[in-house]
Amino acid sequence: MEIFGLTAREISEKVRKKEISPKEVVSAFLERVEEIEPKVRAFISITPELAMETAKQIEEHLMKGEDIGLLAGVPIAIKDNICTKGIRTTCASRILENFVPPYDATVVKLLKEAGAIIVGKTNMDEFAMGSSTENSAFFPTHNPYDLDRVPGGSSGGSAAAVSAREAPLALGSDTGGSIRQPASFCGIVGFKPTYGRVSRYGLVAFASSLDQIGPLTANVGDCILLFSIIAQYDPLDSTSAPLPTPPLEEMLVPEAKGLKIGLVQELFGEGIEEEVKEKVLEAVKYLEEKGAIVEWVSLPHLSYALPCYYIIAPSEASSNLARYDGVKYGLRVEADGIIPMYMETRDKGFGPEVKRRIMLGTYALSAGYYDAYYLKALKVRTLIKRDFDKAFEKFDILISPTSPIPPFKIGEKIDDPLKMYMADICTIPINLAALPAISLPAGLDSQGLPVGLQMIGKPFEEVVLLKTAFAYEEANPLLPLKPPI
């Protein structure tokens, strides 16, 4: 098998046994990127020199018999809203087009300590606002299953890179489904841990009460491995949960026997394509074969999740993005006076979707509307959280489709924001409730496009969730999926 076809765990094992060298691994993946990238366009920045230098250093440590880390020699792609020291971090926005952070995000620091090799920064919707990666200020990314279709968003570049085997591992961020939805569209695994489980220090903020970093991988085993590296308490992040990292060996045990699984009625109803429902329900049978007990469950307030999210997230975004004013960092457009400079900088620096959400959020927070919109949305968020709490009194895991539709064509929804927002109806409630959730391939539809199954777990019970996901993957003979590219 070609090196780029190996899993991250296989690469790590072969590097440790000196069957392949870190430099051989990096060379193989860089060649793959060179071949595939003109078609897929997953990366904003590619770092071949840095990757080869890191590989060389790991090789030297290996030859000296020193500890080289769990991910030694394994290439990884990083979403371009996660700070990387000395590597451009643009958030796919003109306003940060030339921004080079002076520090690493905590997750990047942990990856480097584990021996992972960064091969590039991936494309995304500008400031993570979008569901298709078409809102990138630079170019759209293409789905490896059909180059005329979107890879999902906002972590579309990371998902496409892993799906097309340009990297075995990638990091994304998830505010309303931005890891899980592109994972579904690209036929891979995408995991959003519980809010607070993975440090957000060094993640460029979109909506601070919703954002979470997580893995995108080709299989569940690699997802578990990557999660075990980045799930560390971080005093630099005030929202980081002071909990021990779940043991890797404990998570790598497939187990579903006796689990009570609830199928969320509201997420199989109106707006979900029939073929998506069928594929997900077919996939659930693999869990029943493993001994899981499956029943239907109702979460009545989920119908309010979309409007609730599109008040809370833009409100937090309008506050977080106020810092991009042309003064401290990023783009500065000179004008006659300070106020015209602010206005010109933000007008030229932000794209249409970012401007739309800043205006929505500013309106919702303005005097006279705060109570009617933002405060009410926070109350609805509490009701949604209570629905999940009640469901988890009976069930261990909840299941739904990840996306209501398969990947759509590039340009199909870009002019209709409401249709685009609807692509996240299954994933948004999980962020509002601060729960862990994972998207797994459920198979291909009649057009050969991937469909995703979403598993939702109890807060901080990632071990149960990942063991169940691992059991499902082992039972499903169709997995892992491979795109025609």
How far apart, in Å, are the Cα atoms of 394 and each of 261, 293, 297, 456?
9, 11, 10, 14
Please determine, for residue 368, whether its predicted confidence score (pLDDT) is greater than 90. no
The band of 190, judged by pLDDT with boundaries at 50, 70 and 90, is very high
Task: Please check the confidence at residue 365 and state whether its pLDDT lies above 70.
Answer: yes
- State the distance between the two ends of the chain, measured CA to CA, in whole angstroms: 16
Catalytic residue among 131, 154, 163, 240: 154
The pLDDT, as a whole number, for residue 452 is 98
pLDDT at 33: 98
Distance CA 360, CA 351 (A): 14
Query: Is residue 79 flagged as an active site residue?
Result: yes
The closest of 303, 10, 278 to 169, measured between CA atoms, is 10
- Annotation says 27 is catalytic: no
- Name the nearest CA neighbour of 440 among 190, 232, 273: 190
* Alpha helix positions (H), 231-351: 248-251, 274-289, 305-320, 338-349
Percentage of the chain modeled with pLDDT above 70: 100
- pLDDT of 109 reads 98
Check if the beta carbon of residue 365 is closer than 8 Å to that of residue 311: no
Beta strand extents in 187-272 (DSSP E only): 189-192, 213-217, 260-264
Amino acid 150: pLDDT? 98
Coil vs helix vs strand at 478: coil
Residue 434 in 3-state DSSP?
coil
Q: List beta partners, residue 271.
A: none
CB 98 within 8 A of CB 89: no
Residues forming a β-bridge with 142: none
State if pTM tops 0.85. Answer: yes
**Least reliable range by pLDDT among 10-14, 74-78, 84-88, 252-256:** 252-256
| Contact call for residues 168 and 149 (beta carbons, < 8 A) | no
Pick the CATH number of 3-257+399-475 from 3.50.50.60, 3.80.10.10, 3.40.190.10, 3.90.1300.10: 3.90.1300.10
The pLDDT value given to residue 77 = 98
> What pLDDT digit, counting tens, does each position of 259-272 carry?
999 999 999 998 99
| Chain centroid, CA 338 distance in Å | 37
- Smallest Cα–Cα separation from 76: which of 68, 86, 88, 84? 84
What DSSP element (H or E) covers 443?
Answer: strand 437-444
Q: Which two tokens stand for residue 182?
A: 């592109």
pLDDT in tens, 423-432: 899 999 999 9
User: What pLDDT, on a 0 to 100 scale, did the predictor assign at position 469?
Assistant: 97
Q: Is residue 87 classed as helix, strand or coil in its secondary structure?
A: strand
Around 277, how many Cα atoms within 13 Å sit in the side-chain half-sphere?
12
Task: Indicate the pLDDT class of residue 232, thresholds 50, 70 and 90.
Answer: very high
| Catalytic pick among 12, 79, 413, 467 | 79
Question: CA-to-CA distance for 443 and 157, rounded, in angstroms?
Answer: 21
Are 106 and 201 a contacting pair, CB within 8 Å? Answer: yes
Q: Which of 221, 76, 92 is nearest to 153 (CA)?
A: 92
Q: Quick check: is 154 catalytic?
A: yes
Catalytic member of 131, 178, 315, 318: 178
Mean pLDDT of the chain, nearest integer = 96
67 pLDDT higher than 90: no
CA distances from 391 to 101, 133, 292, 299, 316 (A): 43, 33, 16, 7, 28
Q: What is the pLDDT of residue 212?
A: 98
pLDDT of residue 48: 98
- Model confidence at 12: pLDDT above 70: yes
Average confidence (pLDDT) over 258-287: 96
Of 254, 291, 227, 279, which is closest to residue 400 (Cα–Cα)? 279
d(CA 52, CA 75) in angstroms, rounded, equals: 10
Phi and psi at residue 312, to the nearest 5°: -65, -50
Mean pLDDT, range 449-462, rounded to an integer: 98
Confidence of residue 126 (pLDDT cuts 50, 70, 90): very high
